[in-house]
Amino acid sequence: MSDNLEFTQEVQEIARISKALSHPVRVYILQKLSKMNSCCYSGDLIEELPIGRSTLSQHLKELKYAGLIQGEINPPYIKYCINRGNWEKAKKLLDDFLNDNQSGDFSCYETKTVIHS
């Protein structure tokens, strides 16, 4: 893809956050961390997931890069938690995106054939 400048900041941000959420392992990690308001060690997670340590590390790195989690050094462990501030921002961004569909009339379902796939 070439010309990301054609897209608004908002559109690019939504795509960026969504990409971070686009893998089951990453969703699992975020769900765990956000649902329980808890933190996790990499070693805790690896026991619950069907992937190798280095692969988990990469997923954690991606989530960090996306700003959704943060790691705290707690030797010899690293404790991972949700990055609350960015999590709230992501929440708002996606929420607005998903809910901006209230107004106007429906002009969609007039024609005969509807194709779903």
Which residues would be at the binding site for a second copy (CB under 8 A)? 1-4, 6-7, 11-12, 14-15, 18-28, 30-31, 34-39, 49-51, 64-65, 67, 70-74, 78-79, 81-83, 87, 90-91, 94-95, 97-101, 103-109, 111-117
Residue 43 to residue 52: CA distance in whole angstroms: 11
Which residues between 12 and 31 bind DNA (CB under 7 A)? 19, 22-23, 25
Residue 68 near which of DNA, a second copy, none (CB within 5-8 Å, type-dependent): none
Q: How many CB atoms lie within 10 A of CB 50?
A: 8
Looking at the chain, how many residues does it have? 117
Kindly write down the DSSP assignment for every residue of 62-85, as one continuous string: HHHHTTSEEEEEETTEEEEEE-HH
The residue within the footprint of DNA, chosen from 51, 85, 92, 95 (CB under 7 A), is 51
In this structure, which amino acid lies at residue 20? A
